[in-house]
Amino acid sequence: MINEPRRSLKPIIDNPKESMLDLMNRAKHWEKRWVLYSNVLDHGGEIWLQKWVALDEIEEEMQLEEEKMAPKVYKCKIEDCGKEFNDSGSLKKHASTHGEKQFLCTYEGCGKKFLDNSKLRRHQLVHTGERPYECQYCSKKFSLDFNLRTHLRTHTGDKPYQCSYPGCLKRFTQSSNLAAHEKNHMIKQGKKDDEEVKS
């Protein structure tokens, strides 16, 4: 049976939003059997609910959090494909690429087929040369609204894609540039890990 906490024990949490991992590390550092654990409840405003929790309960909750955070793998079951996705929605979208492409481009000499009519219409802009989306700053025209939105960032300076590596503050206008940048981090980290193994 677990004993009740001593009343003289002082709470070790300064920040109510402290992560479970930080909480565990601090609890182990202080070598206390009981710690004060804070939850945030929102009922039209923030209300702090404080209760005493045993360390073994915190460890159990941490394990549940880790299981929730672990990436789930959804694998395509089509033979010779086997692509993997982090969520079922992405897998479902991908699975449609294996379906019958019934929307045919009728432009002479093309004959490309598409899964849905919207992708066919977008493709046909290649043949028509139509560019209905115009930049308000420089009047440059684009066939797709997505390309205009990306281009506008060159004028506004907006860089919505930030590097997720600790200590790196670089930001990018396009997700593809961020992906290339983070790949460099992985390559450098791999070389660093190899050097540490060799020494």
pTM of the model: 0.43
Q: Per-residue pLDDT for 103 more than 50?
A: yes
- Three-state secondary structure of the chain: CCCCCCCCCCCCCCCCCCCHHHHHHHHHHHCCCEEEEEEEEECCCEEEEEEEEEHHHHHHHHHHHHHHHCCCCEECCCCCCCCEECCHHHHHHHHHHHCCCCEECCCCCCCCEECCHHHHHHHHHHHHCCCCEECCCCCCEECCHHHHHHHHHHHHCCCCEECCCCCCCCEECCHHHHHHHHHHHHHHHHHHHHHHHHC
For a pLDDT cut of 70, what percent of the chain falls above it? 60
Q: What is the number of residues in the chain?
A: 199
Please give the structure tokens belonging to residue 194.
């190899």
Cα 144 to Cα 146: distance, rounded to the nearest angstrom = 5
17 pLDDT exceeds 70?
no
Q: Which residues pair with 51 in a beta bridge?
A: 37
26-53 mean pLDDT: 43
Q: What is the pLDDT of residues 68-97, one digit of tens each?
A: 666 667 888 888 888 888 778 888 888 878
What is the rounded CA–CA span in Å between residue 158 and residue 174?
10
For the chain, the domains span 8-37+49-55
Q: Span 167-180, mean pLDDT?
A: 91
CA distance 131 to 126: 10
Residue 46 pLDDT > 50, yes or no?
no
Q: Is the CB of residue 103 less than 8 Å from the CB of residue 115?
A: yes
